Structures are given as C-alpha cells and as structure tokens.
Amino acid sequence: MTAERAPVGARHVAIIMDGNGRWAKKRHLPRAVGHQRGVEAVREVVRAARTMGLEALTLYAFSTENWRRPEEEVSALMGLLKRYIMADLEEFVANNVRLRIIGNYKSLSADIVTLLDDALARTAGNDGTTLAVALNYGSQDEIARAAARAAAEGAITPEAIAAQLDTADLPPLDLLIRTSGEIRLSNFLLWQAAYAELWFTDVLWPDFTPAHLQAALEDFAARERRYGGR
C-alpha cells in the first residue's frame, strides 16, 4: 500500500494533538518550542491528509479548558495560530483545501476572528479535503448548544441534535487518534465518536508524521465496524 491514498472507507479522521509540552520537557526546552514543533507536525499531517484523499481532518487545537493555562502560554498559542493561518492560507487556496472552524471562535481576539473569517471566506468554495480546526471548543458545550437549537425548532431527537452540531456538514467521524500515550477523549467530539474507531499512540505530537497517520488508517481499514450489531 502506498502513502498516496488512504485505505478505502476512511473519510473523516480527527486527532487530539497531545504532547507538545512533554516533547519540550524531554529536551530541556521551553514549552513554546514544543508548540512550534507541533505546528510543523500539523503542516505535514494536513498535507498528507490531502494527498491520502481524506474528505475531512479535524484537529483539536484549543479547548475551552485550555484557558486555564498560564496567560503567557495561551498568548503564544494564539500567536502560533495566527502565523500558521497567514503562512498556509495560500497553500490551502492553491490545493483546494476548505477551512472550517468548530467551537466558539468568535469570542477570540478581534484580530484572530478577522483573520479566520477571511480564511473561511477564501476557502469556502473549495471542495477537496476539509480541514476543521477546533478552537475554543468543548464537546459538552457543543452538544448543549445543539440541543437548545433543536428544542427551539421542535422535538429533541438524536437526529435533530446531530443536525445542529458544529460538524453537521462534515462526513461522519470514522477514526479518532490521540497522541502521547493518554487514553481519554478530553471533551472532544463526544457525540461524533459514538461509533468511531479509536487509535492511541505513545508518540508525542511533534514527532507524529504522515507515516503514523498512514499506520492508523491501515489499522482502521482492517477493523470490522458493527455499529452495535453482531
């Protein structure tokens, strides 16, 4: 199997990108350096997702809980986000990548909101891989918002809630990956992961490569998905 095409059946992959801080600590470097190397890993994995033919890749970039981190670290993360979007937007446009944001990004600083709105508008017509970035995102908050909107329109059913989720326009989640050896979902895509396959690795996020993504996809392709059946 080559690295140019994802195994048949994998349409939507999500990743909890964990381990930047531990990567830096192991090397006696500031946490900011770990986050910088993490951005490089994002860049390579996004490119690989496109060449592998994934319809959607969702990345957990900043959670509602991450605001509890030191102000200096939060500021550095937001700065990295801005630089990444500014540096890679033209590549998204040229390579037919559609950018999506899930979570309450409108509550971020005005300069970031303006930058993201521009990137969303410029890539809205692209119909290749969708890169969904979870910013100021928490799945419990997402479900609560979706349920409230469903209730305002009528009966609260699983179908009505699903139609109001931030990811409603994306394919169903097939595979959720978490790096760094942690084995939990951390309030990420709880509804969407109901029947997704899970893949955990001890690799810290800055060391995660397209080869690791390919290995996860190959493992996914070998699994039998029963959706509660026998």
User: Which domains are seen in the chain, by residue range?
Assistant: 12-221 (3.40.1180.10)
Q: Which residues are catalytic?
A: 18, 66
What is the Cα–Cα distance from 45 to 211, expressed in whole angstroms?
A: 9
Nearest to 36 by CA among 88, 87, 79: 79
* Mean pLDDT, residues 207-222 taken together: 96
Q: What band does 3 get if pLDDT is binned at 50, 70 and 90?
A: very low
- pLDDT of the residue at 230: 60
- pLDDT of the residue at 229: 66
The dihedrals phi and psi of 60, each to the nearest 5 degrees, come to: -85, 95
Residue 2 above 70 pLDDT? no
What is the Cα–Cα distance from 30 to 183, expressed in whole angstroms?
A: 25
Q: What band does 224 get if pLDDT is binned at 50, 70 and 90?
A: confident
- pLDDT of the residue at 225: 81
* Mean pLDDT, residues 49-69 taken together: 96
Q: What is the pLDDT of residues 105-137, one digit of tens each?
A: 999 999 999 999 999 999 999 999 999 999 999
Length of the chain: 230
Percent of the chain with pLDDT over 70: 95
54 alpha carbon, distance to own chain's centre: 13
Q: What band does 227 get if pLDDT is binned at 50, 70 and 90?
A: confident
- In this structure, of 22-36, 115-129, 163-177, 213-227, the range with the lowest mean pLDDT score is 213-227
Q: What is the pLDDT of residues 174-210, one digit of tens each?
A: 999 999 999 999 999 999 999 999 999 999 999 999 9
Q: Global pTM?
A: 0.93
